[in-house]
Structure 1
Amino acid sequence: MPRVSPILRGLVLSAAIVAGYVPAVAGEQQTEGEKRHSILKPELQTGTAFRAKPREVEDPAVVNRMSKAVANCVNGREAGMVRSFLSVSDPVDTDREAADFRWSRFMDVLEGCMKTRWNEMPNDPRRTTLGMAFSDSRLRALLEEEVYLAQNDTAPEAVAGQPFQTKRFYVSSDENLARAQGLADFADCLAHRDPKTADALLRTEPGSSAERQAAKALAPSLGACLAKDQTIEFTASSIRALAADGLWAWTTLGPATAE
């Protein structure tokens, strides 16, 4: 069974950091956790945004489904750019200057996909009430999910004796590095403890009862991956993001090598 590494045990993995995986909905009142996250990483709240008005959404599930649809579109149009983005980011930060593409071009693709998805729902009354903004970490998780699903028809299988940590790379520094390593370690642990359920979660429709059931089924693994006496409140969306990060890293980066 996977064991939690010293990196995670020594990290106070707060709900504020996990909240970075949840889409910021324009007009939606921030929770206390999201406010704390804004203080920790204010630039993440404005790094990637779409303008839409009015700024109100009654059903977050609509936003989550739209977010997935946009990410699927982006990966379909610019798979190479998506992989480059993933290679210059970690669960907390993105090194935009290291990307081998113009960031403005990436934003153009995102906005184009957003408009495409809007045009697919011309008679939906919610079309005029949907506003959305992505943090870089949220966008990363969405794209990891799409890349993983595009490349894998079934869940990976753990190999006996193989470490659950994957061959990660980090662009974060200082205290953000510890947070990024902790989130990555947690995602790796979750994916390796129950890859089939984590995989099944990513194949559900956001906001559906199937998503909630799959997320609930991962509760034992979530608890096992937490450090002793650690308590975190999860949402189906944040669990989905952790599963996407863990499965993507497992199937794309491979296992960590012994130093």
Structure 2
Amino acid sequence: MTDGSESTEGVRLQKALANAGVASRRVAEQLIVEGRVRVNGAVVTELGSRVDPETDLVDVDGTAVQFDQSKRYVMLNKPTGVVSSMKDDRGRPDLRRFTKDWDERLYNVGRLDAETSGLLVLTNDGELAHVLAHPSFGVTKVYIAKVDGRVTPQTIQRLLRGVDLEDGPISADKARLLSSSAEGGGSLVELTLHSGRNRIVRRMMAEVGHPVVELVRRQFGPLHLGTLPAGRTRELTKVERGALLTLSRQAAGQQED
């Protein structure tokens, strides 16, 4: 490969990795030499290699690298009483208060009903939003539900086997009982689902005789809510962005197969 200008032949791979914040240029060179960097699915060990950040897909140790710095990814711990919309026709509290700190126009990925709190992703990356929100891609969500009554192991098994709802059968990918009070204090249940159906956790728990009292989404794909307080936002870390982009590229590859 000749030493033409970077504008016509792209950017040296180690410089592109450094610009993306993956590592210093020296460490990036080491990653390349060690065979830990792939460009468009092929391992590249040549330090003179150039890439086009706009079109080439690069990953390090299997995790996608984000070159496009115009894309913004934000995690919100949505409080109860807020609708998952950028503008509510009925004047209820919406998501605009949580996006005003960013210059980009951010949109919510999927929805949480007004009385459900927890992890919601805000982004201007439409392609990634489609992958995360569409149930065909199988991105899982983990919910903690406080419910009425004493949930038994038999009820947990029923949730795993599946229940019939008015819009068809549904089963939990995973379900476990976190706590159950003999004194009528209700139970805590953890449910993992990839369904995007409306109010699905509430309807499932009502079907098995344990209406939801409180509901929070703790995980969304590779993202964990952690200690983020209700009503607060934070940008995703480099590791989290890489995990989401890896998911998106895998989904794109499945569509092409």
TM-score bin (small chain): under 0.3
Question: By percentage of residues, which structure has more helix?
Answer: 1
Q: Which has the higher contact order (CA 8 A, sep 6+)?
A: 1
- Structure with greater strand share of residues: 2
Q: For the pair shown, which has the larger CA radius of gyration, 1 or 2? A: 2
TM-score relative to the length of structure 2: 0.23
